[in-house]
């Protein structure tokens, strides 16, 4: 029978240095593989999320541009063109009745009194409650007559009472016997805003900027690599630098964008711009 000594027991229960180094090397390789798989998975998920963000950014920009192009020229004086400047491929200037795009259609005729004063509050019935709800106390408005693109009286009025239901009450009338017709439009404007309003879109560095009446520019979208307008004219030809703006009948908008965080995560390699192209017709020419 073999004698078991404390020295033999210690030697049988332990590992040699070579065995430990082999195990550590195997664990290191396994951890490296797992980490690389995890990193690749995270990069794919992260990049896909960023691509969705870029596409949404482009879509929101294109929808805003499209909506305001369609509204350009609506209710503005006949002497004003829907497009007032399109001198470069990255600049578009529109003329609109309302820079905020809020309108309400009057549903019934209303003849003002011969003794109307600026402090009198005149209630108007609006076609839909949703239209009236766009306005709030102290908002400034104009009234336009769609058939002639003119105003019954060239003036700015004030919302005198918070709208309720389909009632929108205005003050500031000073013209006696003024006839306001059903289908006339109440349009929200800014205090001191010109008639018509001017909205300019342009690309500055990597941002699409929207500027109303020459005021402070607002950022519509950032991380934009390209913005281009191509105009179709009355004779069917296309150009991105038209000289006669009232000949423009449609606009093709091309917007390219990328996300800088995605670029950095991918070491600025194999990252493509996302592009959105939209064609919008000029309705109010």
> Which of 158, 189, 220 is at the close of a domain?
189
Burial of residue 70 (number of CB atoms within 10 Å: 0-12, 13-18, 19+): middle
Q: Are residues 275 and 200 in the same domain?
A: yes
Domains: count for the chain: 2
**In terms of domains, do 87 and 107 share one?**
no
Question: Based on the domain organization, do 134 and 199 belong to the same domain?
Answer: no
Residue 131 lies in domain: 103-189
The answer as to whether 122 is a domain residue is: yes
Query: How far apart (Å, rounded) are the C-alpha atoms in residues 192 and 182?
Result: 27
Kindly state the percentage of the chain with pLDDT values over 70: 84
Are 90 and 218 within one domain? yes
pLDDT tens digits along 8-31 = 555 555 667 777 777 787 877 878
On whether both 217 and 84 belong to a single domain, the answer is yes
Does the global pTM surpass 0.95? no
Pair 84, 213 in one domain: yes
CA atoms within 13 A on the CB side of 97: 28
Given a cut of 70, is residue 5 above it in pLDDT?
no
Do residues 162 and 109 share a domain?
Answer: yes
Looking at the structure, do residues 141 and 211 belong to the same domain, yes or no?
no
- Residues 118-156: pLDDT tens digits? 999 999 999 999 999 999 999 999 999 998 889 999 999
Q: How confident is the model at residue 38 (pLDDT cuts 50, 70, 90)?
A: low
**Farthest CA pair distance, the chain:** 131
Considering 170, 189, 208, which residue would you say is the last residue of a domain? 189
In a domain, 19, yes or no: no
Pair 90, 205 in one domain: yes
DSSP 98-133: -SS--EEEB-S-EEPPTT--TT--EEEEBS-HHHHT
Residues in the chain: 285
């Amino acid at each position: 029978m073999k004698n078991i000594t404390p020295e033999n027991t210690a030697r049988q229960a332990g590992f040699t240095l070579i065995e430990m180094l082999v195990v550590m090397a195997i664990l290191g390789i396994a951890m490296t593989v797992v980490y690389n798989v995890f990193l690749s998975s995270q990069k794919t998920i992260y990049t896909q999320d960023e691509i969705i963000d870029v596409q949404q950014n482009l879509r929101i920009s294109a929808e805003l541009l499209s909506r305001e192009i369609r509204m350009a020229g609506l209710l503005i004086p006949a002497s004003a063109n829907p497009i007032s400047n399109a001198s470069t491929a990255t600049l578009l200037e529109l003329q609109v009745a309302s820079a905020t795009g809020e309108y309400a259609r009057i549903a019934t005729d209303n003849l003002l009194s011969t003794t109307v004063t600026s402090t009198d509050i005149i209630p108007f019935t609006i076609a839909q409650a949703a239209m009236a709800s766009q306005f709030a106390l102290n908002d400034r408005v104009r009234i336009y007559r769609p058939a002639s693109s003119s105003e019954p009286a060239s003036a700015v009025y004030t919302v005198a009472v918070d709208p309720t239901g389909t009632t929108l009450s205005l003050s500031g009338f000073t013209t006696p016997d003024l006839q306001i017709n059903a289908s006339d439009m109440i349009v929200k404007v800014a205090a001191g805003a010109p008639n018509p309003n001017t909205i300019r879109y342009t690309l500055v560095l990597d941002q699409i900027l929207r500027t109303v009446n020459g005021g402070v520019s607002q950022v519509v979208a950032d991380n934009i690599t390209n913005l281009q307008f191509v105009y179709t004219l009355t004779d069917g030809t296309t150009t991105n630098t038209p000289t006669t703006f009232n000949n423009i009948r449609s606009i093709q908008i091309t917007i390219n964008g990328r996300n800088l965080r995605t670029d950095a995560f991918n070491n600025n390699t194999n990252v493509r711009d996302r592009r959105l192209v939209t064609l919008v017709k000029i309705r109010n020419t």
